DNA sequence: GCCGTTTTCGGCCCGACTGTTTTCAGTCG
């Protein structure tokens, strides 16, 4: 049983109970149990089998029994029962901004509205205006909300969120009324997809700053405008919130709006346990305000080391920072070179030499070229002759490029039976091989896909496993497979796991990195670049690695060129000797 | 439903904004 299925089940139970107007504290209990299980390092199935689920703080006897029953039978009677009471369309209605459980329930019970379509019709017929708690304005807002969720997927990729955030930062950053200003929210945390963008500013003239914000270039629509809080929609549909506070409040507000909500909840609980109270304006002991000029001081006051934004997901980071500890996290400057880029030999847009020079400009010591293999017809995969031509060109370039080295590699398709795409003697002539699935995954079930990946990992020529889950964010789900088994096999075979830094992939998922760390396997932060700007995607990869708590030593491409060359040789030799 | 250095009962994180109210409920983060 997948942990995420348990977490989703508990979340859905909480939501449905809320819609059914059950005790809000009971609802919260399910929510916090769900979060606690999501954040736990423990083997949930094992704890369930030994009746020890209540060891997890936030999981009591009742929920523990439910989860255990769910794991055993694969179905949750409680959830089924709740689902039978709430039409699915009613749950869908809650996606509309401004509709929470209470209002949705009113629409459902008072107006017999059971789906988004019926709601849209009712608004068009002006039938909500007379309903208690609603009015003309809410009717309009609901219609706009429906249009919005139809027009835009509810989430955006990280780069789109960053672009919107930087646009606002640029138009407000130089204003004399702005004292400090920073991007907060999920963009700052480096989440792979974001729902909206949060920006925090300090000022003594908030009204002026708010004026600038709602009239900034690129703003399409103003949603809200208070004295301290405003919200707009940018062209392209990204929702941006701005919060303006006094400068002494700024670090607390920045921390608060960086979130995550779960991290904040845990931090406030910690403050409370230490006899303090924390909110977005400050930290207080009794009525006395505790001065902190930076986020670092806030963490310090609470007996913690600085927790970088990427880590703030309440997935163990607070325990790790206990006593002032600050576990090292990889930074972009730690990368000494990169693997996995494409050139005009296959579907890249730049020549080998142009890409090499672009890497040199970025201060890297080496690059590992990995064009597509011959099965990837659609991407101009390389024939054996193409590979040889490329190899000759690399030899020439390695002669003339001063202080830079190109490693010879390929991104070999993992064929349906798990074998690689070239004969062994060809693979043996390469410095490294990235093995990736690109084709024939749609009909594979979990067992078959796992076997296929395992077979590829077992090849002594496989150096790295490329984009392990195959997901395309907001577009394609990961293929089904046993990730735990794949990670263990990689560790055992010394196969490096790719963290594909393309912002549409960010694959392996950072949530798996804790597991990778435990097995001792290494990751490589690979740009998978097809053009020059794609090289800078490693920045997204670094953020994802940091979210997973990855130290520089765990990242293959933090090694310098000589060490990488030696390591590639040594690994190949060890595996051929096995 | 969960939890416990005030508690096995009585609490449960906190504040801004909106729209509908005529002092506040609901939503959101």
pLDDT tens across A294-323, in order?
Answer: 999 999 999 999 999 999 998 889 989 988
Residues A403 and A483 in one domain: yes
The answer to whether residue A326 sits within a structural domain is: no
Record the tokens describing residue A97, joined without a space. 């901004």
Lowest mean pLDDT among A177-186, A267-276, A452-461: A267-276
> What's the CATH code of the domain at A35?
1.10.150.110
Residues A44 and A160 in one domain: no
Would you place residue A254 in the very low, low, confident or very high pLDDT band (cuts 50, 70, 90)? Answer: very high
Residues A424 and A526 in one domain: yes
Q: Which residue has the higher pLDDT, A400 or A315?
A: A400
Dist. CA A170–CA A178, nearest whole Å: 12
Residues A26 and A73 in one domain: yes
A30 touches strand B (CB under 7 A): yes
The one-character DSSP state at A465 is E
- Average pLDDT of A322-347? 95
> What's the CATH code of the domain at A371?
3.20.20.140
Residues A126 and A182 in one domain: no
Looking at the predicted structure, is the pLDDT value of residue A358 above 80? yes
| The predicted structure's pLDDT at residue A138 | 87
Would you place residue A152 in the very low, low, confident or very high pLDDT band (cuts 50, 70, 90)? Answer: low
The one-character DSSP state at A555 is B
| The predicted structure's pLDDT at residue A151 | 64
| The predicted structure's pLDDT at residue A153 | 57
- Average pLDDT of A448-453? 92
Q: Are A203 and A244 in contact (CB under 8 A)?
A: yes
Q: Which protein residue lies nearest to nucleotide B4, measured between its Cα and the C1' atom?
A: A273
Would you place residue A144 in the very low, low, confident or very high pLDDT band (cuts 50, 70, 90)? Answer: confident
Q: How far is the CA of A267 from the C1' of B18 (A)?
A: 29
| The predicted structure's pLDDT at residue A158 | 93
Looking at the predicted structure, is the pLDDT value of residue A195 above 60? yes
| Owner of token pair 């303090």 | A276
Residues A80 and A95 in one domain: no
Number of domains in chain A: 5
Residues A489 and A348 in one domain: yes
| The predicted structure's pLDDT at residue A253 | 94
Sort A179 into a burial class: Cβ within 10 Å, 0-12 / 13-18 / 19+. middle
Dist. CA A464–CA A523, nearest whole Å: 9
The answer to whether residue A254 sits within a structural domain is: no
In the listed set A320, A353, A380, which residue is the last one of a domain according to the structure?
Answer: A320
| Owner of token pair 């990368």 | A335
> What's the CATH code of the domain at A182?
3.30.460.10
Q: What is the pTM of this model?
A: 0.77
Residues A113 and A18 in one domain: no
pLDDT tens across A2-29, in order?
Answer: 777 888 889 899 999 988 888 888 888 9
The answer to whether residue A198 sits within a structural domain is: yes
A193-194 vs A523-526, strand pairing mode: unpaired
pLDDT tens across A63-78, in order?
Answer: 999 999 899 888 888 8
> What's the CATH code of the domain at A141?
1.10.150.20
The answer to whether residue A255 sits within a structural domain is: no
Closest nucleotide (C1' vs CA) to A129 is B20
A63 touches strand B (CB under 7 A): yes
User: CA distances (Å), A321 to each of A32, A221, A231, A317, A513, in order?
Assistant: 22, 41, 34, 6, 18
Would you place residue A433 in the very low, low, confident or very high pLDDT band (cuts 50, 70, 90)? Answer: very high
Q: Are A383 and A374 in contact (CB under 8 A)?
A: yes
Residues A433 and A573 in one domain: yes
A257 touches strand B (CB under 7 A): yes
In the listed set A320, A355, A385, which residue is the last one of a domain according to the structure?
Answer: A320
Domain extent for A115: 88-151
| The predicted structure's pLDDT at residue A348 | 87
> What's the CATH code of the domain at A306?
3.30.210.10
The answer to whether residue A250 sits within a structural domain is: no
* Torsional sign, CA A413, A416, A417, A421: negative
The answer to whether residue A565 sits within a structural domain is: yes
Q: Are A115 and A92 in contact (CB under 8 A)?
A: yes
Would you place residue A555 in the very low, low, confident or very high pLDDT band (cuts 50, 70, 90)? Answer: very high
Q: Which residues lie closer than 8 Å to A298 by C-beta, 6 or more apart?
A: A251, A252, A255, A283, A292
Lowest mean pLDDT among A39-43, A342-346, A415-419: A39-43
- Average pLDDT of A527-552? 96
The answer to whether residue A263 sits within a structural domain is: no
Complete DSSP assignment for A288-344: EEEP-SSHHHHHHHTTB----GGGTTTSSHHHHTBTT-------GGG--EEEEE--T
Q: Which residues lie closer than 8 Å to A133 by C-beta, 6 or more apart?
A: A103, A106
The answer to whether residue A127 sits within a structural domain is: yes
Q: Are A431 and A424 in contact (CB under 8 A)?
A: no
Residues A305 and A238 in one domain: no
- Average pLDDT of A379-389? 91
A104 touches strand B (CB under 7 A): yes
pLDDT tens across A484-537, in order?
Answer: 999 999 999 999 999 999 998 999 999 999 999 999 999 999 999 999 999 999
Would you place residue A332 in the very low, low, confident or very high pLDDT band (cuts 50, 70, 90)? Answer: very high
Dist. CA A231–CA A222, nearest whole Å: 6
| The predicted structure's pLDDT at residue A74 | 85
Q: Which residues lie closer than 8 Å to A65 by C-beta, 6 or more apart?
A: none
- List A432's β-bridge partners, or say none: A409
Closest nucleotide (C1' vs CA) to A284 is B14
How many other C-beta atoms lie within 10 A of the C-beta of residue A505? 27
Residues A570 and A455 in one domain: yes
Q: Which residues lie closer than 8 Å to A297 by C-beta, 6 or more apart?
A: A251
Residues A126 and A21 in one domain: no
In the listed set A67, A85, A103, which residue is the last one of a domain according to the structure?
Answer: A85
Looking at the predicted structure, is the pLDDT value of residue A203 above 90? yes
Q: How far is the CA of A515 from the C1' of B16 (A)?
A: 40
């Amino acid at each position: 049983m997948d942990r995420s299925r348990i977490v989703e089940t508990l979340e859905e139970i909480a939501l449905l109970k809320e819609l059914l107007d059950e005790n809000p504290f009971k609802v919260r209990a399910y929510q916090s149990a769900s979060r606690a299980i999501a954040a736990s390092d423990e083997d949930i199935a094992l704890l369930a089998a030994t009746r020890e689920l209540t060891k997890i703080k936030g999981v009591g006897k009742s929920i523990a029994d439910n989860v255990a029953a769910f794991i055993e039978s694969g179905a949750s009677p409680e959830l089924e029962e709740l689902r039978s009471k709430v039409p699915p369309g009613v749950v869908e209605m809650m996606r509309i901004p401004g509709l929470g459980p209470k209002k949705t329930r009113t629409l459902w019970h008072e107006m017999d509205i059971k789906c988004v379509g019926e709601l849209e019709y009712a608004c068009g017929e002006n039938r909500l205006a007379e309903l208690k708690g609603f009015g003309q304005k809410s009717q309009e807002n609901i219609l706009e909300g429906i249009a919005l969720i139809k027009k835009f997927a509810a989430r955006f990729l990280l780069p789109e969120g960053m672009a919107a955030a930087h646009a606002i930062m640029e138009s407000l950053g130089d204003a004399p009324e702005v004292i400090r200003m920073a991007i907060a929210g999920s963009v700052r945390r480096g989440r792979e997809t974001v729902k909206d963008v949060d920006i925090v500013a300090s000022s003594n003239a908030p009204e002026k700053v708010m004026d600038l914000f709602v009239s900034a270039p690129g703003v399409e629509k103003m949603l809200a405008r208070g004295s301290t809080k405003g919200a707009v929609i940018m062209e392209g549909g990204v929702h941006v919130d701005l919060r303006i506070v006094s400068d002494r409040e700024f670090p607390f507000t920045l921390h608060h709006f960086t979130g995550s909500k779960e991290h904040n909840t845990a931090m406030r609980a910690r403050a409370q346990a230490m006899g303090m109270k924390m909110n977005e304006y400050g930290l207080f002991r009794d009525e006395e305000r505790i001065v902190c000029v930076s986020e670092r001081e806030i963490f310090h006051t609470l007996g913690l080391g600085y927790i970088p934004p990427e880590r703030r997901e309440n997935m163990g980071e607070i325990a790790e920072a206990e006593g002032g500890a600050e576990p090292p996290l990889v930074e972009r400057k730690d990368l000494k070179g990169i693997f996995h880029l494409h050139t005009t030999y296959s579907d890249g847009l730049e020549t080998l030499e142009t890409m090499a020079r672009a890497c040199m400009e970025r201060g890297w010591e080496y690059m590992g070229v990995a064009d597509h293999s011959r099965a990837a017809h659609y991407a101009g995969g390389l024939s054996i002759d193409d590979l040889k031509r490329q190899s000759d060109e690399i030899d020439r370039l390695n002669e003339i490029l001063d202080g830079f080295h190109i490693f010879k590699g390929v991104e070999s398709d993992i064929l349906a039976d798990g074998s690689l795409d070239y004969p062994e003697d060809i693979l043996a002539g390469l410095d490294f091989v990235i093995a990736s699935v690109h084709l024939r995954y749609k009909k594979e079930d979990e067992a078959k896909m796992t076997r296929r990946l395992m077979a590829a990992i077992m090849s002594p020529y496989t150096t790295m496993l490329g984009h392990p889950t195959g997901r395309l964010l907001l577009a394609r789900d990961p293929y089904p497979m046993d990730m735990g088994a794949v990670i263990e096999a990689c560790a055992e075979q010394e196969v490096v796991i790719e963290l594909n830094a393309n912002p549409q992939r960010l694959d392996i998922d950072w949530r798996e990195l804790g597991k990778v760390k435990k097995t001792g396997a290494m990751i490589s932060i690979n740009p998978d670049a097809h053009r020059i700007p794609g090289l800078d995607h490693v920045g997204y990869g670094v953020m994802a690695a940091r979210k997973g708590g990855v130290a520089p030593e765990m990242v293959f491409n933090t090694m310098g060129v000589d060490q990488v060359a030696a390591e590639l040789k040594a690994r190949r030799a060890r595996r051929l000797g096995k």
